Every structure is written in structure tokens, then in C-alpha cells.
């Protein structure tokens, strides 16, 4: 089996960690009898600075034939975030209908939680984030510009199709792991979008009578992540709420250096894209101190998505072993190992 | 000096804790030489169940002559949240132009943080939440109802006046405590509202060169609250972001049983309203187990707002003393004291 993989290292530490993830993927391929043909794309803020665009006009077309995409991170000082993200990350998520943003977190061995007295089995959850619509919308604008009565409108868009499919995905996932679903709502504040979300949640939940379901206001759910994370299993959330809750979930478990994510098109007809939850962290880029674990785990998710389940699990196990042994720790884990050293040790353990 | 105070105990534990806060306020009045004339309003979900409305048509008018409002909490099963909240809490916040929602949190003595290894001085911050506009908007609706292509729009509204005044308030507050300001943004996702917020933030920050200012994406800021709360002082945030961040801030410090809030009209021309951050928790209502500390501290904020600074400080000191002594702890604090017992001990300590 040969898979065509597009690599977009992007900016900042995205570049540093993607090379390590690629090393681990190549090792997995050699060991488990499949091959990967890589093509690298220099789409980034650097490209934007030179050419005025994050990716070429036919960028989506170029990627559409790939079996998977590994994305580093995008963002660099000088390029406004809404330019860099809406010029690359967000259009790709939408063009490829990667409507699921899957963000599993767990407390990895050999690491400690920011929370007091929590054990690993209490800190394991998955955020299922809607990834194609919702609060992230380009609709809106400014009225009375430059006048004292100036104001800005920002529209959120929730479609039946979009809300239903993400909630269904969350229930399927919860069923497959014998878990339960918590829906993040804010129907008491946002009185159009969130009551609609709740309505569809109730409809879908009724079709999964075997899967326990509950809803929780996003403010209370954020508090629960800190005070009772053991009561959380699968969380389904809108684009914005999922964004916040998944960073938070990463923070209460191993930290952002450890949290992978998949932008998934469940149909498989268009490529899915995998990336660390963390950003490009330009302040520490190129210094060899970024933790590559999140990106390595994102690479494992890519293999999982391609059906290479055994190889994916082997990568995760290797990461666990390396962290348990403590033989290579980057500074965020209290060690002095470089990004490359940690990546290499994981690859060697896997081999 | 006599102050006219409206009390709206509301629903659930709102009733349980408001009576304790009132007890403490009356004690403070007796001791510090001012008087309080109370008027109680039964506006609540119970009222809604009987009469079809949370408050009378002239509710705003009735309250407008008061010097301050003490609100319990609103919400009860059977009454949809968007009905109860938009029929009482939110209209009051808006009618009285209580555009600041002030939410100080700190780790109280004798209590422990959910975070590992954090000391009290690392856990002290104030969330300045915009309270009159933003994501909480009644504008929006459903299109293609009942069809497969159904969708819902939800509008957020950010005015120059609204954004500027809340950011200015945050800078004034930070200056007064020699602190710094962190603005919660999400300009990389919400490309109309949040770049506008950032623009005004930059303008206002330039007028306070002595106050260190930074901005942080709301997802990263949520993570920072868990991983580096000591780096946070004054947070200024939109209505929705402030809602989530303040619950989170409460969770990482003493928990929701301890977090007060003020809905403040800084001009003083219209009444301000004080309440605990927590909700009505109907499941534990009337059992005498709710922690009244948040509401007692909200009452202290009310006095502070009225200019009774010494009395306000005395209440806070009494709460600290009682918690340090550990003589009365409600179940959430690991004790067996009732709501009334804790309220009484605080009042006696104050006396
Ligand atoms: C009850 C709800 C509408 C309210 C809000 O979101 O404003 C509450 O969560 C709060 O924080 O005061
Ligand atoms: C960079 C930003 C637009 C992005 C998002 O909010 O989706 C990031 O925070 C993420 O979580 O993938």
C-alpha cells in the first residue's frame, strides 16, 4: 500500500515538529509494510510575505488528490492572524469538508497534570469540535465607519446539516468507546444558535438510547474540566466552543505540547488534515526546544484515519514508553532534550 | 446614610444564599452606622409559572429608584433558560446600562485550589466582562424552517461605544491596582468582531502607557488560566468570553461557591446589581447545603459600590477569618455546616 501525503510545515515551530513527525511516520511505514510518498508545500506566512498569498490559487485542487495532509502550524508576527488563517487553514478545512475536528486528550505517562491529585484514568477525553461553520464565519462588517456610532456585526451560521452530522459523529464515537456525550451549549445567552443546537442534539440523542447524553453550558463545562474532568468523556461542541474547550482540555492534561488534532472528512472522499493543537509559537521557533509529541500523535491519527491502525497504535505506545522512561524530555517536560532528540528516540523506540 | 436595596432572591439556591447575604449586610449596617431599607421582589421562574412573566411589565421602572440590587439566581427546570434569563437578568443588565460585569476571584484562605502547587498570591485576578452587547444578542432567526436546508443565524453586535468603555474601565482598574491588562481575543477565527475589538483595545492601550497591556486568544488564555494563572491580572473580555473565562477563573481558585460578581453602571445614575457567579442549582436548593460565601462577597461588592468601603472590607475580612478558622464549612468546602450556619458565623464574626 502506498499513501500520498502532503506536508505543509507552515510557520514557526510547525516546521520544527513536522520534520520529527515525518521521521516517525517513515519509520512506521518501513516497519509495518506500507509506503508514504511525501510532497512538501511551502505554504506559510513566509510565502505570503513574498507573494501576497498563503497558498496558490489552485491550492485546494493541488491537495485534493492526496490521501492525507500533515500540517505544521500557521501564523507569524507581521501577518495578521485573520489573514494567515483565512488564507490557508480555514479554507482547507472547509473545501475538504473536514467537518470534524477531533481532539483526543489524555494524561501521558511520565507527565503531570496541572490539576491537583488527578490520575491518568480521570484525565482522558475527546473533544469533537464542529469544524466547518458556526461562529467562524466571514459574514459581517462595519457600519457607520469612523463615526461615534460605529458598530460591527458578526454573523454565526448554524445549518441543520452541519449541526446534525457533528452530533451524530460524537454519538457514534461515544458508542464505540462505551462512553457518554456532553454537549456544550449556551442557550441561555445566545438565544438563536444554541437553542437550535440543543434541539438537534435532543433529536440525535433520541436515536442513541444506549449512549448517555447530557448538555452543559459552556461556562459550567469549562469549570467542570478543572473541577471534575473525570465526569467528562466525549464532548461535542460548536466551532468556537470546541476551540476553547480543547485548549483547556489539553491544559488540564499534559499541556499543549502533547495535544494532537485531526480535521476529518469522515466520508474519506476528500483528504483529511492532521495537526498539533498548538500554534506556531514564533518566539521559540528554530531553537530546537519545541515539543514534537503533539505533532507525532497527530501523525498517528493520520495513520489511524488511513486504516493503519496497528502502526498508529505502535506510535502511541512508543511515545508512552519514551515519556515513561524519561530518556528524552524537551524543556516543557522539565528536560533538556532537543526537538530532534525526542523525535529520534521515539522513532528508534518504534523501530 | 440610608440606602434602598432591592432584593430579588430568584430561584433555587438563590433564595438560600440571598437571605444569608442580607443578614451579613444588616450586621454591617448596624456596625458601620448606615441603614438599609430592603424591598423584596418575588421575580422568578415560580412567578413565571403562575403569571407567564418573570417580572411585571414595569419591572425596570420599579427598580430604577433603588440604590442597589441584590440578585439571587434565576433558572428552574421546566422554564427554558432563554426565557428566564432574557425575561429578567439580561433586560435588567441592559436597561440599567450595567455594562461592566466585574468578577474578582482569589484563592480564599482555608480553601484549596484545583490546581497543583499554586499559592494564594498566584491566584488572584479580576475578569472585566462586557455586559451589555456582543455575542448575547436577540438578533437572528431560522431560515427554511423544517426543511433539510434549514439554518439559523445568530448576530453578534459590537459597538464602538460599548467596546471602548469596557476596555477603558479595565485599564482604569489595572492602573488603580498597579496591574496589567490582558485582552481576550479570537481575531484569527471571528474576523469581523474580534479584529474590531483588538483595534479599539490598541487605541485605548495607547492612552495608558503606564499600564502593561497584551492580548491573547481566548483558547490560549483559557489554557493559561490553568497553566500560568500567576501571569494573569486584569482580563478584559467580551460578553461570551468573559462568561467562560470567569467561570474558569472561579474554578481554578476557590470554586463557584466563592465567586461574586457585580453588574455595574459606573455612572451611578442607575442601580447596579450584585450576584454570585453560580446559578440556581435547583438540585440542591432548599437543603441548606449551598455555600453562601459567593453571595456574601457579592453583597460586599454592593457596599463597595455604594462607597461603604470600610464595611465592604470588613465583610471580606470576616469571610477570610471564618474560612481560616474552619469553624463553619459547607459540604463543598469539605464540612457539614448548613448555609445558615455559615452565614450566621460570618455575621457574628463581623459584629
Ligand atoms: C445565566 C446566564 C445567562 C449568565 C450569563 O451567561 O451571563 C450567567 O452564566 C452569568 O455568568 O451571569
Ligand atoms: C489558529 C486558529 C484559527 C485555530 C482555530 O481557532 O481553529 C486554532 O486555534 C485551532 O484550534 O486550530
- Average pLDDT rounded to a whole number, residues A80-90: 89
Q: State the SS3 of B244-271.
A: HHHHHHHHHCCCHHHCEEEEECCCCCCC
Model confidence over B7-62: pLDDT tens digits? 999 999 999 999 999 999 999 999 999 999 999 999 999 999 999 999 999 999 99
CB contact under 8 A, A252 and B113: no
Give yes or no for residue A257 having a pLDDT over 90.
Answer: no
Whether A110 shows a pLDDT value over 90: the answer reads no
Q: Is B227 helix (H, G, I), strand (E, B) or coil?
A: helix
At residue A33 the predicted structure's pLDDT band, cuts being 50, 70 and 90, is very high
Residue B80 confidence class, pLDDT cut points 50, 70, 90: confident
Query: By the 8 A CB rule, do B333 and B319 touch?
Result: no
User: How many other β-carbons are positioned within 10 Å of the β-carbon of residue A331?
Assistant: 16
- Whether chain A has a CB inside 8 Å of the CB on B201: the answer is no
- pLDDT at residue A83 in the model: 86
Cross-strand partners of B310? none
* Ligand 2 pocket, residue B155 CB under 6 Å: no
Say if CB B280 and CB B13 are below 8 A apart. Answer: yes
Does B140 contact chain A (CB < 8 Å)? yes
Nearest of A292, A265, A262, A306 to residue A127 by alpha carbon: A262
First to last CA, chain A: 19
The HSE-up count of residue B195 (CA atoms within 13 Å, CB side) is 15
CA dist B248 and B225 (Å) reads 8
Q: Tell me whether residues A239 and B189 touch, CB distance under 8 A.
A: yes
Q: How far apart are CA A315 and CA A343, in angstroms?
A: 11
Please answer yes or no on whether B149 and A159 come within 8 Å at the CB atom: yes
Q: Give the Cα-Cα-Cα angle B80, B82, B84 (nearest 5 degrees).
A: 70
pLDDT value at residue A145: 95
Dihedral of CA A259/A295/A275/A262: which sign?
A: negative
Strand arrangement, sheet containing A260-264? A35-40, A2-10, A68-73, A272-276, A260-264, A100-106, A124-130, A234-237, A181-185, A213-217
Which mutation among A10, A75, A89 tests ligand 2's pocket best, with the greatest number of atoms within 8 A of CB? A89
Selection from A21, A57, A39 nearest residue A271 by Cα: A39
- Interface mutation vs chain B, best among A215, A251, A332, most B CBs within 10 Å: A251
| pLDDT of amino acid B276 | 96
Tens digit of each residue's pLDDT (9 = 90 or more) over B213-248: 999 999 999 999 999 999 999 999 999 999 999 999
**Cβ within 8 Å, pair B192-A140:** yes
The whole-number pLDDT of residue B257 equals 87
Lowest mean pLDDT among A30-44, A68-82, B123-137: A68-82
Percent of chain B with pLDDT over 70: 100
- When pLDDT is averaged across residues A37-51 and rounded to a whole number, the result is 95
Q: pLDDT category, B255, cuts 50, 70, 90?
A: confident
Q: Is A121 on the interface with B (CB under 8 A)?
A: no
Please say if the pLDDT value at position B110 is more than 90: no
Q: Does A92 contact ligand 2 (Cβ within 6 A)? A: no
**pLDDT at A92 (0 to 100):** 95
- Report, as an integer, the average pLDDT of A206-218: 97
Span B159-180, average pLDDT: 98
Instruction: Report pTM.
Output: 0.96
Is A279's CB within 8 Å of B192's CB?
no
Q: Report the separation in Å between the CA atom of B294 and the middle of ligand 1, taken as the mean of its atom positions.
A: 15
| Per-residue model confidence (pLDDT) at position B251 | 95
B147: confidence class by pLDDT, cuts 50, 70, 90:
very high
pLDDT in tens, A276-319: 999 999 999 999 999 999 999 999 999 999 999 999 999 999 99
Residue A166 reports pLDDT greater than 90: yes
Average pLDDT over residues B179-208: 97
A158 — contact with chain B (CB < 8 Å)? yes
Alpha-carbon separation of residue B147 from A167, A188, A203, B63, B286 (angstroms): 18, 25, 15, 44, 45
What pLDDT is stored for residue B158 in this prediction?
Answer: 98
CA angle centred on B299, ends B294 and B301, rounded to 5°: 95
Domains contained in chain B, CATH given = 1-99+259-351 (3.40.718.10), 113-253 (3.40.718.10)
**Could you tell me the pLDDT band of residue A175, with boundaries at 50, 70 and 90?**
very high
Q: What is the pLDDT of residue A128?
A: 98
Q: What distance in Å separates the CA atoms of residue B314 and residue B329, rounded to the nearest whole number?
A: 20
Calpha distance A255→A247 (Å, rounded): 8
Task: Let me know the angle formed at the C-alpha of B116 by A260 and B289, rounded to the nearest 5 degrees.
Answer: 110
The predicted pLDDT at position B81 comes to: 83
pLDDT score of B256 more than 90 = no
Give me ligand 1 centre to Cα B86, in Å.
Answer: 10
Classify residue B55 by its DSSP letter: S
CA distance A11 to A75: 6
Average pLDDT, chain A: 96
Contact present, A200 and A186 (Cβ < 8 Å): no
Residue A124: per-residue pLDDT = 94
Residues of A in contact with B187 (CB under 8 A): 80-82
The whole-number pLDDT of residue B213 equals 98
pLDDT at position A172 over 90: yes
Distance CA B178, CA B174 (A): 6
Instruction: Grade residue A80 by pLDDT with cuts at 50, 70 and 90.
Output: confident
Residue B4: how many CB atoms within 10 A of its CB? 13
- What digits encode the pLDDT tens for the residues B259-272? 999 999 999 999 99
Across A138-147, average pLDDT:
95
Give the number of whichever ligand sits closest to the CA of residue A221.
1
SS3 of residue B188 by DSSP: coil
Q: What interhelical angle do B339-350 and B13-32 show, nearest 10?
A: 10
Cα–Cα distance for residue pair B118/B338, rounded to 1 Å? 29
Ligand 2 pocket check for B191: Cβ under 6 Å: no
pLDDT in tens, A3-29: 999 999 999 999 999 999 999 999 999
A76-87: average pLDDT: 88
Amino acid at each position: 500500500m502506498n499513501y500520498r501525503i502532503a506536508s505543509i510545515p507552515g510557520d514557526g515551530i510547525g516546521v520544527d515538529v513536522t520534520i520529527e513527525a515525518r521521521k516517525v511516520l517513515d519509520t512506521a511505514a518501513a516497519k509495518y509494510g506500507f509506503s508514504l510518498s511525501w510532497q512538501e508545500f511551502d505554504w506559510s506566512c513566509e510565502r505570503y510575505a513574498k507573494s501576497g498569498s498563503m497558498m496558490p490559487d489552485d491550492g485546494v485542487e493541488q491537495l485534493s488528490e492526496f490521501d492525507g495532509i500533515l500540517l505544521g502550524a500557521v501564523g507569524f508576527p507581521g501577518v495578521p492572524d485573520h489573514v494567515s488563517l483565512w488564507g490557508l487553514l480555514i479554507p482547507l478545512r472547509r473545501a475538504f469538508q473536514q467537518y470534524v475536528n477531533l481532539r483526543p486528550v489524555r494524561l501521558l505517562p511520565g507527565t503531570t497534570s496541572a490539576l491537583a491529585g488527578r490520575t491518568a484514568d480521570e484525565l482522558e477525553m475527546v473533544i469533537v469540535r464542529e469544524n466547518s461553520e458556526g461562529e467562524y464565519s466571514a459574514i459581517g462588517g462595519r457600519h457607520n465607519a469612523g463615526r461615534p456610532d460605529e458598530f460591527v456585526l458578526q454573523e454565526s451560521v448554524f445549518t441543520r446539516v452541519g449541526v446534525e452530522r457533528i452530533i451524530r459523529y460524537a454519538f457514534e464515537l461515544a458508542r464505540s468507546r462505551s462512553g457518554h456525550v456532553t454537549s456544550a451549549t449556551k442557550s441561555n445567552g445566545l438565544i438563536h444558535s444554541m437553542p437550535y443546537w440543543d434541539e438537534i442534539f435532543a433529536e440525535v440523542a433520541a436515536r442513541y438510547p444506549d449512549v448517555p447524553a447530557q448538555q452543559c453550558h459552556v461556562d459550567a463545562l469549562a469549570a467542570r474540566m478543572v473541577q471534575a474532568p473525570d465526569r467528562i468523556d466525549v464532548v461535542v461542541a460548536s466551532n468556537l466552543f470546541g476551540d476553547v474547550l480543547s485548549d483547556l482540555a489539553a491544559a488540564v492534561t499534559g499541556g499543549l505540547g502533547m495535544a494532537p488534532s485531526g480535521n476529518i472528512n469522515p466520508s474519506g472522499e476528500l483528504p483529511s488534515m492532521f495537526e498539533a493543537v498548538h500554534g506556531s509559537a514564533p518566539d521559540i521557533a528554530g531553537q530546537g526546544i519545541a515539543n514534537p509529541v503533539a505533532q507525532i500523535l497527530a501523525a498517528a491519527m493520520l495513520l489511524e484515519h488511513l486504516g493503519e491502525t496497528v502502526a498508529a497504535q505502535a506510535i502511541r505506545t512508543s511515545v508512552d514508553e519514551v515519556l515513561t522512561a524519561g530518556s528524552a524530555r524537551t524543556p516543557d517536560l522539565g528536560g533538556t532534550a532537543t526537538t530532534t532528540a525526542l523525535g529520534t528516540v521515539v522513532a528508534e523506540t518504534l523501530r
